[in-house]
Chain A
Amino acid sequence: QQQVKQSPQSLIVQKGGISIINCAYENTAFDYFPWYQQFPGKGPALLIAIRPDVSEKKEGRFTISFNKSAKQFSLHIMDSQPGDSATYFCAASNRGVRETSGSRLTFGEGTQLTVNP
């Protein structure tokens, strides 16, 4: 019940296109859903995050869509650029058990995005 399932495993998009990555979860206690971006040889960096009280959050070219009833959320990258080529991880956490788990995150398996010029 702690799993977060992510798809696709890899994605190739042309420059200027839209990249869409999907995640699904089972634990209804999850209440915080971030996306991380990781470049080769680097640690994951927080990209954007959403809480279940909103259905969409947009920051620049990055948008999270959240469907609480379906227990799914997705990352949309508009006008994708070659510099966006990286591995993207969705994650989830239950802030309600903060005393025992803090900000512990459960990660999806990752999506390797390649944006062709």
Chain B
Amino acid sequence: AQKITQTQPGMFVQEKEAVTLDCTYDTSDPSYGLFWYKQPSSGEMIFLIYQGSYDQQNATEGRYSLNFQKARKSANLVISASQLGDSAMYFCAMREGPNNDMRFGAGTRLTVKP
């Protein structure tokens, strides 16, 4: 069964506007971590933001914030004031279990338009 679901294969946003990338997850483990990564066209994986399952507040890192809704099992990434350099693939991932397995979603390709 798919553990991480990203329902938006592609998204467009106007420069300087905010955009939300969706992510839902499935786990029965009460302890887990949620991550977002950015993959530009050069291919490297860049860590953006982390949210722990016990964290009471939504994580923020600069222009990135994570809208964590635990009951709905969603962990959407919000990028504020989009920049052209934000154009990339974005992956949601979850780490759980005694083996610390990390599962990734299929990704969302974000294009920022000038």
Do chains A and B interact in one complex? no
Q: Which residues of B come within 8 Å of A, CB atoms?
A: none
Q: Which residues of A come within 8 Å of B, CB atoms?
A: none
